[in-house]
Structure 1
Amino acid sequence: MSNSWQRRAATRPQAVEATTLVLLFALTVASVVAARAVMSGTPPLWSGIALAAVACAALPWRRERPVGVLAATTLCTIVLGALGYLLTAGVMVPLLVAQYFTSVRTPRRTSWNSALTAAAGLVVTGLLVPSFRDSPILGTVNPVAMVLLSAALGAYVRVRRQYAVARAEHAVREREEEARHRVIQERMRIARELHDVVAHHLTLADAQAGTAAHLARTHPEQAFDILAKLPETTAAALRELKAAVGLLRQDNDTSDLTPAPGLDRLPELVDTCSMVGLEVTVTVDGQRRPLPPVLDLTAYRIVQEALTNVTKHAATRTAQVRLAYTPHYLTLTVTNDTTPDRPVASATTGGGFGLLGMRERAAAVGGTFHAGRRPHGGFEVACTLPLHHHGALPPDSHDTPPPHTHDESPAT
């Protein structure tokens, strides 16, 4: 029933306003008549009804001009008191309503100054009217208390509304900040994906082209074989680039996009590296198991980027990939040794984003990442990824990730 009344009030505001004013006028007139009956003297009835009507007639502007309406209702109430009417709550209804709206719709200082002014006028009236000299509580204390109580109620409502508005604005800002944060995270994710795809395949294509050019005069057959495999590398780059760019078109049909790669494509990655002369050895420790898609993609991209760095920066032509499965973690290690009598070009040289992207990928799934030179030469990339959701281990877990050292933070 309350909801039905609220719906009707929302759809018919003018009818609700007219009904409210009629009820307030009826209550005020009835209170004026009752106050006249209990007084020892006989204040003029029609004057009291006229003042009540004037006070109620000013109330329709209580929202637009609250201070002016408060002044009019206060003057009418003071005149009623001066005529000898007992200022009960019913007689003061227009004044109390006007004071409430003044406190709600005006600043704190204005509302309390107006309340104190109205209270001072009632005090003066109560002290000067002969009928109330013997009863200061009825003539002054009660009217002043009701005005101040109405002002306090209005101030409380004003503060609550301001608090609600502040909370709503804060919630809007939080939603905007959250949306902005998600956009930034999505942009970073797509940037990592594009970097890994473009850097890996273009590095391999560049290495294949350079090797073919080097062998063109001395071993033309090998050069032609390498060039024949070059379209496979570029085609793979285009497929993965199309899949990465497809992330930007969420509203379109992505059924024709290549699925996200995972560790099941590691043999293909090893074969691709062998085309440019990098021999990769893969060892698996522990029981291999299927991984969630996000974790599977993360592991593959980290291995792919680490091998790309070896291809670009390392003097050696060999690399080792180790996958270690434990009950709660997957540890990836990619290492390359130093070729005798040849310096190692550190993977920390250059101005790219390889190490940074790998570190961000590992952190996104709750893992750890370390990269740096090995004590006996070469370079190592090590990453530990939790196999459970958000990296949370079950309460009875005693499996801890292995420590890593030789961490270097510059990105390539």
Structure 2
Amino acid sequence: MTTLVRGRGWARTHPLAVDAVLASAVLVCMVVGSFAEPNGEHGPTWGTRTPDAPSLVLMTLGALALVFRRRAPWSVLAATCAASIVELLTGQPRAPVVMCAVIALFTVAARTDRSTTWRIGLVTMTGLTGVAMLSGGPLPWYAQENLGIFAWTGMAAAAGDAVRSRRAFVDAIRERAERAERTREEEARRRVAEERLRIARDLHDVVAHHIALVNVQAGVAAHVMDKRPDQAKEALSHVRDASRSALNELRATVGLLRQTGDPEAPTEPAPGLHRLDELVDTFRNAGLPVEVALGQVGLDLAAAVDLAAFRIIQEALTNVQKHAGPAAKAEVSVVRVGPNVEVTVIDDGPGDDKGDEQRDVEQHTGGGHGLIGMRERVTALGGSCSAGPRYGGGFRVHAILPVTTAKGGTA
């Protein structure tokens, strides 16, 4: 098997040498065949005739032309047909020069389309057979030599077309396999990119939320450390709780990246609206008054919708804490409206110039990753998200999440 594979590889890389070997074999067959008399009394007999010099020259020229059959198939077909016609018109007894034309016709048929194959095949069969019948000499027009020319040229055209069809079929299968492989690779890359984006959103939401709370509580502790140590101690306790929660959520998120054999990842369920009171309490402890209006949204929301609603509220309240100013108040509303869940977070804080400018940049230029993450989450679920300043002051974030997700989850 290894020798066969090596032989095929060598043949592909040395086509001219292969054709030279083929031409030599054809020449030997023609010379040997020219010594046989096909019309003997008891069948073909050997040694009863010998080829003349012109026949030997025509056989040699025809075989030599076959060496270039892959480089110039049409020219080789024309040359071999011409040599065959000359032999049919002048050779008595005949030499099998037409064998060269048969092989040349096969080569042309294997390298062109089906309609061209049958047109050129019909011309070659008709031409060579007609010349053989008209120049038959003492042989009748229906002699086996004449019918043999018709049969062999027809089989050459059919065989060449079959080889071309098989090559096209194999190439199509190979192309489909390569295309399927590329599609699998592209799908894998797309899924990896989506997973990276999802994890990046979760990490941003977790870090931004808890670090903002830690920053606020640390500032409070530093401010009241000397005069009100009890309040400073309470603020530091909130810092500790916020940092612990951040570490736990980071551990849970990064745990998704663990591979087989790594320590077991945390089994705590993903956050959702069932943890909304806990989330709001962290902001209230940081000094941000938050009012919550939770409608009958149902407890069986799809996990993706539940998580998206929680993260949107978390990011929106974090932005209020960072940008709306110390006197701001926030309101959170989650209601079920038909087939959708609407999440609204508003604040009435005037903010400072820097905070207003930052949120305006995030809204209109996409410079803030928080608003981008909100929109990406909602868009991935087939919903819509808007954020912008309120008339009369403050800021508003409004998201519409379909209860039926794009992946078929339902509430």
Q: TM-score, normalised by structure 2?
A: 0.67
1:218-297 equivalence runs, <5 A: 218-251=227-260, 252=262, 254-297=264-307
1:21-60 equivalence runs, <5 A: 44-46=44-46
Whole-angstrom distance in 2 between the partners of 1:305 and 1:341: 19
Matches within 5 A, 1:170-185: 170-185=179-194
1:360 maps to 2:402? no
CA RMSD in angstroms comes to: 4.8
Structure 1 residues 340 and 334, CA gap change in structure 2 (3 angstroms): closer
8 Å Cα contact 1:274/1:280 also seen in 2: yes
CA 1:366/1:277 → structure 2, altered by over 3 Å: closer, same or farther?
same
- Measure the CA separation in 2 of the matches of 1:319 and 1:367: 23
Alpha-carbon offset, residue 320 of structure 1 = 0.5
Aligned to 2:339: 328
- Percent identity of the aligned residues? 37
How far apart, in 1, do the equivalents of 2:399 and 2:92 lie?
91
Aligned partner of 1:199 in structure 2 is: 208
Residue of structure 1 aligned with 2:155, choices 124, 146, 155:
146
**Conservation of the 8 A alpha-carbon contact between 1:263 and 1:297:** yes
State the alpha-carbon separation in 2 of the partners of residues 146 and 341 from structure 1: 91
Distance 1:83 1:195 in 2: 95
Aligned to 1:209: 218
> Are 1:338 and 2:349 counterparts?
yes
SS at match of 1:184: helix
Residue type of the alignment partner of 2:331? Q
Q: 1:41, CA displacement in angstroms?
A: 8.4
Q: CA deviation at 1:183?
A: 0.8
How many angstroms apart in 1 are the aligned matches of 2:355 and 2:348?
Answer: 8
Residue 131 of structure 2 corresponds to: 127
What SS does the corresponding residue of 2:268 show, helix, strand or coil? coil
Output the CA distance in 2 between the equivalents of 1:273 and 1:96.
91
Corresponding pairs, count: 341
Larger radius of gyration: 2
Partner Cα distance (2:265, 2:284) in 1? 32
Gaps of 5+ in 1: 1-9, 15-27, 49-64, 395-412
Separation in structure 2 between the aligned mates of residue 229 and residue 243 of structure 1, nearest angstrom = 21
Structure 2 residues without counterparts, runs of 5 or longer: 6-28, 49-67
Does the CA contact (< 8 Å) of 2:378 and 2:399 recur in 1? yes
Amino acid at match of 2:131: L
Correspondence 1:80-159 to 2 at 5 A: 127=131, 130-131=135-136, 135=141, 138=147, 141-159=150-168
Write the deviation string for residues 140-187 of structure 1: whole angstroms up to 9, x where unpaired: 555433322322222222222222222221111111111111111111
* TM-score using structure 1 length: 0.67
Q: CA offset at residue 188 of structure 1?
A: 0.5
Deviation larger for 123-132 or 306-315? 123-132
Matched, 1:383 2:399: yes
Between the aligned partners of 2:320 and 2:109, the Cα distance in structure 1 is 73
SS of 1:331's equivalent? Answer: strand
- What is the DSSP-based 3-state SS (H/G/I as helix, E as strand, rest coil) of the residue aligned with 2:406? helix
Q: Secondary structure at the match of 1:232?
A: helix
Residue 360 of structure 2 is matched in structure 1 by 348
Distance 1:297 1:44 in 2: 91
| Secondary structure of residue in 2 paired with 1:322 | strand
Deviation beyond 6 Å, 4+ runs, structure 1 = 40-43, 78-87, 94-99, 119-122, 340-344, 391-394
Q: Taking structure 1 as reference, are residues 201 and 66 closer, same or farther at Cα in structure 2, changes over 3 Å only?
A: farther
> 2: CA distance between counterparts of 1:302 and 1:135?
94
Letter in 2 for 1:281: E
Whole-angstrom distance in 2 between the partners of 1:355 and 1:343:
17
SS of 1:345's equivalent?
Answer: helix
Query: Following the alignment from structure 1 to structure 2, what is the Cα–Cα distance between the partners of residues 340 and 234?
Result: 26
Q: Map of 1:300-315 to 2, 5 A cutoff?
A: 300-315=310-325
Residues 43, 83 of structure 1: 8 Å contact kept: no
1:89-114: CA deviation from partner (whole Å, max 9, x where unpaired)? xx98x99799768866xx659xx99x
- The residue type paired with residue 259 of structure 1 is P
CA distance in 1, matches of 2:361, 2:135: 99
Q: Is the 8 A contact 1:277 1:317 kept in 2?
A: no
**1:253 CA displacement:** 5.0
Indicate yes or no: 2:394 matched with 1:372: no
2:339, 2:404 within 8 Å by CA — same for their partners in 1? yes
